[in-house]
Amino acid sequence: MLTKFISIFLCVMMLSSVSIVKGDEQINQTDSIISPLKKGQKAPFTGVELSPKAVAEMMTMISSVDDEIKIEVDKTKSDVMAQCNFKSAEQRTICETNAKITLAQLNEQKSVNSTLINQLKKEESKHSNTFLMLSLGFASGTIATILSVFAITQITK
């Protein structure tokens, strides 16, 4: 930063100490003028002559570049932060909504399960004893088998 300041200061000092060159035209000192010198023109140097206003404008532009860059960087930062905050809020809202939907579905499934369990208990209470039914089925199956075997042996005699 200090080297930039020293460089700018030396440029201003060198440019302001240049002797005034009389050209073909009358120069109005109120306008900022940058006039290139051509080979063969009488001047203490070859190059570009700057009016004091042009030098002041250039110095203002040079000194304001850092501020312009800072302003642009700050603007870009704030834009990016706004986009990031928006996306974050959007994702948070989506997650909260999905959590609520999942919770509602879970509660619905719990109520369906409890209803089915209650219906199953009612149906079980309507039916008679399962062990008794199995015993009767086994006994009737055994009797039917014995009778079938007896009938087949009587027929085959």
pLDDT surpasses 90 at 59: no
Q: What is the mean pLDDT of the chain?
A: 81
- Phi and psi angles of residue 100, each rounded to the nearest 5 degrees, phi first: -65, -40
Q: Where are the domains of the chain?
A: 2-126, 129-157
The per-residue pLDDT for range 112-136, each reduced to its tens digit, is 999 999 998 888 777 667 778 888 8
Torsion on CA atoms 75, 76, 81, 84, rounded to nearest 10: 150
**In the prediction, which pLDDT does 23 show?**
47
Rounded mean pLDDT, 72-100: 95
pLDDT surpasses 70 at 78: yes
Is 52 within 8 Å of 29 (Cβ atoms)?
A: yes
